[in-house]
Amino acid sequence: MNKKIIIGNWKLNGNKKKIKRDIKKIEKKINTKNCIVSIAPPIVYMSYIHKKIKKIKLTSQNIDIKYYGSYTGDISSLMLKDIGVKYVIIGHSERRIYHKENNEIIFKKILSSLKFNLKPILCIGENIKEYNKKNSTNVCKKQINYLIKKKKSLFKKIIIAYEPIWAIGTGKNASIKHISKIHLFIKKQLVEINKKIKILYGGSVNINNYQDIIKQKNVDGFLIGASSLNSDIFIKIVNNTNNIINNLK
């Protein structure tokens, strides 16, 4: 059975002391037998973390389009590669909303990350209005189709994270039925391009709901925000997921 992918997105949280303590604990206790585990820390701490990890991988929360030059404040895929980053989150709703990142920018960021062999994790998902109007599948389809029209082979190389915006940071995860429906829909959309595409779920994954979600056929892992900030909870989610996969084998 394929390994599940579990990524902890720390967003704009943490400090030297907490990060040192958490990374040490995660590295010591995490079981990566059936899971690929990665942390997306604030970028300023990545070099430090890279020196301390063996089992877990590094994910960047962001990337910019240019590789080097006069682009003040930008983050380059070339440099992320240089410090040992493996994955890059692209199109997260917080960046779409607060930084006005549109599908074209997202397309360019995917190209930029692939140029240096960083694996993009493309976030898609609907907002609450769209959800209430039963437009979730349409929204995902539009986000995917924009990229298919640009360059469909991208989908051979990326991971998708389905993250309904209304579920992010709200404590209200999507129902199992909804998650299964959307993941299946996305897989069907992409089956001709990549029948092995991985789809993670994100949006208020926590210690009480991860077990039911991970057992769904088309859920290949998690993108976890708030619950990954507590290292004990994060370790529990990963290690129990390992056991669940063992039992499913």
Q: Closer to ligand PGA at the Cβ: 13 or 152?
A: 13
Q: Does 225 bind ligand PGA (CB under 6 A)?
A: yes
- 223 lies in the site for ligand PGA, by CB under 6 A: yes
Stretch that binds ligand PGA, among 52-60, 107-115, 211-219, 223-231 (CB under 6 A): 223-231
Q: Which residue has the tokens 């299964």?
A: 180
* Residue 179 CA to its chain's centroid (Å): 15
Cα-based distances in Å from 97 to 127, 223, 229: 11, 18, 22
Which of these is catalytic: 27, 92, 183, 192?
Answer: 92
What separation in angstroms does the CA of 74 have from each of 9, 40, 90, 108, 174? Answer: 20, 17, 15, 14, 34
| DSSP character at residue 34 | S
Residue 249 CB, shortest distance to ligand PGA, in Å, is 27
Hey, which residues does 60 pair with through a beta bridge? 88
Shortest Å, Cβ 66 to ligand PGA: 25
Stretch that binds ligand PGA, among 108-116, 142-150, 163-171, 190-198 (CB under 6 A): 163-171
User: Angle at the Cα of 146 (from 61 to 190), degrees rounded to 5?
Assistant: 85
User: What number of chain residues touch ligand PGA (CB under 6 A)?
Assistant: 13
Active site residues: 92, 163
Q: What is the binding site for ligand PGA (CB under 6 A)?
A: 9, 163, 168-169, 202-205, 223-227
